[in-house]
Amino acid sequence: MIRMFRERNLAFRRQAHYDMKTYPIMLNLSGRRVVVIGGGEVGLRKARSLADAGAEVLLVAEKLDGSAPARAEVRRERYRADQLAGAALVLACTDDRAVNARIAADARAVGAMVNVADRPEDCDFFLPAVATDGEVVLAVGTGGAAPGLAGMLRDRLAGAIPERIGEFAAALGTLRRELRDAVCEQERRMAILKELSGQQGYELFLRGGPEALRERMNAMGEER
């Protein structure tokens, strides 16, 4: 199934390489300050996903349209520029365009990147539609042009992800760390990891789990 997935999307990947208007990147937000202003459905949804990713979320809103994330700091007050101190990212999610514009200007003034709800032209970054399976994260974005389309594509692509792929990725991560200590030559390590990560490695994992992959890795490490 992995091979089929790659072949069907080869032409798309080649075209996307040259047409990108934004740079896709996975951020480690663990312990990083992220400020979300706005307590409506959009603000709460973004605050939850950011908290789930390990960010230290500050949610600023005079009122909330639902429950805030348990791990978020909530300030039931009006927006002020000093609330952005120390922020790595800022998300302006109020229903007032003038306030959102002021938030964006204040965020950039303190060196934070900003996302403004429903205003892609005012955004430094976008939040893609996401599906996860353990270590594997599928993210689909349209540069803010069509969030509904991104969600539809996410749902269709998520249905094509092979079973237990998150467990497979976690096992490969463990073996990759072990391989750094066991094999000195970088090219040899890359060749071993390439085989383990491919269709045969995946099928081997489904049959025998992580230990079957480790046995194959050790055998390849001894080959010359």
The pLDDT score that the predictor gives to residue 142 is: 93
Q: Are 35 and 74 a contacting pair, CB within 8 Å? A: no
The pLDDT score that the predictor gives to residue 52 is: 95
pTM given for the model: 0.84
> Which residues have a Cβ under 8 Å from the Cβ of 66 and sit 6 or more positions away?
41, 44
Q: Are 29 and 84 a contacting pair, CB within 8 Å? A: no
The pLDDT score that the predictor gives to residue 20 is: 75
Q: Are 63 and 138 a contacting pair, CB within 8 Å? A: no
Task: Please report, in tens digits, the pLDDT of each residue of the chain (224 residues total).
Answer: 445 355 555 555 555 555 678 899 999 999 999 999 999 999 999 999 999 999 999 999 999 999 999 999 999 999 999 999 999 999 999 999 999 999 999 999 999 999 999 999 999 999 999 999 999 999 999 999 999 999 999 999 999 999 999 999 999 999 999 999 888 899 999 999 999 999 999 999 999 999 999 999 999 988 75
Strand, coil or helix: 6: helix
The pLDDT score that the predictor gives to residue 182 is: 86
Residue by residue, DSSP assigns 15-52 as HHHHH-SS-------TT-EEEEE--SHHHHHHHHHHHH
The pLDDT score that the predictor gives to residue 37 is: 99
Q: How many residues does the chain have?
A: 224
Q: Are 150 and 138 a contacting pair, CB within 8 Å? A: no
